[in-house]
């Protein structure tokens, strides 16, 4: 089985972006990304810190705005509209999830489509469906890069996507379809999920449930892409996902928690290729965010 190294592909993408960033800076149009982090969610803070670091390493100007968790929808829209008007900001990212009192859909729609670094604006979703240029959602776009750069053929293959979220599942299915795969989208109400998954030459797990995809879900030789990021904080959670006396219990006790995907990591040995968690898809999300930001700056400089 081949392990698909997301860090290696991330480094390739960032290395290709560096001369593009330098060219923009030499032309007086340094790329700029604004990240809005509402409140103090620890997981979101880690994600934002990694995004800011990637900007710094590439030479992209980054600006972090940290309004309080008590902010209203109108106040947050006003922040976004101010960023929309700034010529030095080419990409805007509002870190999700937002506090419950905020209308997340309204915030995403307030971002100018040309500055939508996440690719979630309805105009950009429409462009993606139509096969038109524009920013693509970062995680699905990263998966497509991972497949292409590892020489994994998509055209003519049977692909199954487990999960139908607007962020991963739906755009993942659309990008695979554009690459000429035959695509099935599964979800929590799919009858006989294991049987559907066993048909897949390319299986993408993005449903957010630790260890859901087991040995009997995977066709021998299939490419298995694990998008899940589930942090198990108690032994009870680990046992619910992987069973009592799981070999993963030792790793959990050593660290006090366990980060795992949607695929059971000990039941994928008959796959042809597999993305580990961590180190698989995760690093590519930030790489594609950088790519979207650089592309937006290039469009502005023309």
pLDDT tens across 74-115, in order?
999 999 999 999 999 999 999 988 999 999 999 999 999 999
Q: What is the residue-averaged pLDDT of the chain?
A: 95
Query: What is 27-113's CATH number?
Result: 3.40.50.10860
pLDDT at 166: 93
From 119, 175, 187, 183, select the one nearest 147 (Cα to Cα). 175
96 in Cβ contact with 66 (< 8 Å): no
All CATH 3.40.50.720 domain ranges of the chain, comma separated, are 138-282
Beta strand pairing call for 230-232 and 258-260: antiparallel
Mean pLDDT along residues 114-121: 96
The dihedral sign for the CA sequence 266, 159, 221, 154: negative
Distance between CA 118 and CA 292 in Å, rounded?
A: 8
Run of H or E including 80: helix 73-84
pLDDT at 89: 97
All CATH 3.40.50.10860 domain ranges of the chain, comma separated, are 27-113
Residue 166 catalytic?
no
112 in Cβ contact with 102 (< 8 Å): no
List phi, psi (to 5°) of 34: -105, 130
**Catalytic residue from among 61, 95, 201, 219:** 95
- What b/e string do you get for 185-215 counting C-beta neighbours within 10 Å, with b at 16 or more? bbeeebeebeebbbebbbbbbbbbebbbbee
Question: pLDDT digits over 13-25, tens only?
Answer: 999 999 999 999 9
**Catalytic residue from among 51, 136, 170, 219:** 51
pLDDT at 302 exceeding the cut of 80: no
Q: How confident is the model at residue 173 (pLDDT cuts 50, 70, 90)?
A: very high
Residue 95 catalytic?
yes
- The fold of 138-282 is Rossmann fold (3.40.50)
Three-state DSSP class for residue 238: helix
Residue 118 catalytic?
yes
Number of Cβ atoms within 10 Å of the Cβ of 71: 18
Instruction: Quote the pTM value.
Output: 0.95
Distance between CA 204 and CA 137 in Å, rounded?
A: 15
Distance between CA 185 and CA 207 in Å, rounded?
A: 11
- What b/e string do you get for 262-293 counting C-beta neighbours within 10 Å, with b at 16 or more? bbbbebbeebbbbbbbeebbbbbbbbbbbbbb
Distance between CA 2 and CA 231 in Å, rounded?
A: 25
Distance between CA 116 and CA 93 in Å, rounded?
A: 7
Run of H or E including 159: strand 158-162
**Catalytic residue from among 118, 201, 226, 262:** 118
Number of Cβ atoms within 10 Å of the Cβ of 75: 12
DSSP state of 205: E
Question: pLDDT digits over 200-257, tens only?
Answer: 999 999 999 999 999 999 999 999 999 999 989 999 999 999 988 889 988 899 989 9
């Amino acid at each position: 089985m081949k392990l698909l190294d997301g860090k290696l592909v991330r480094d390739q993408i960032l290395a290709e972006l560096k001369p593009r960033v330098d060219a923009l800076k030499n032309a007086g149009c340094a790329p700029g990304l604004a990240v809005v982090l509402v409140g103090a969610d620890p997981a979101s803070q880690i994600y934002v810190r990694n995004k800011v670091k990637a900007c710094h390493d590439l030479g992209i100007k980054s600006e972090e705005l940290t309004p309080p968790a008590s902010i209203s929808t109108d106040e947050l829209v006003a922040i976004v509209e101010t960023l929309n008007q700034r010529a030095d900001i080419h990409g805007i990212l509002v870190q999700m999830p937002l506090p419950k009192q905020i209308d997340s859909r309204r915030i995403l729609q307030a971002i100018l489509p040309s500055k939508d670094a996440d690719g979630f604006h309805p105009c950009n979703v429409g462009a993606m469906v139509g096969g038109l240029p524009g920013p693509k959602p970062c995680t699905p776009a990263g998966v497509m890069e991972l497949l292409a750069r590892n020489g994994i053929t998509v055209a003519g293959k049977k692909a199954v996507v487990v999960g139908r979220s607007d962020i991963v599942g739906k755009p993942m299915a659309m990008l695979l379809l554009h690459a000429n795969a035959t695509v099935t989208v599964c979800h929590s109400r799919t009858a006989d999920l294991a049987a559907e998954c066993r048909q897949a030459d390319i299986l993408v797990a993005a449903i957010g449930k630790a260890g859901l995809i087991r040995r009997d879900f995977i066709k021998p030789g299939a490419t298995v892409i694990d998008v899940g990021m589930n942090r198990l904080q108690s032994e009870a959670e680990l046992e619910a996902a992987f069973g009592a006396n799981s070999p993963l219990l030792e790793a959990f006790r050593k660290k006090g928690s366990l980060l795992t995907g949607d695929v059971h990591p000990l039941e994928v040995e008959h796959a042809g290729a597999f993305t580990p968690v961590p180190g698989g898809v995760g690093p590519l999300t930030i790489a594609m965010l950088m790519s979207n930001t650089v592309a937006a700056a290039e469009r502005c400089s023309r």
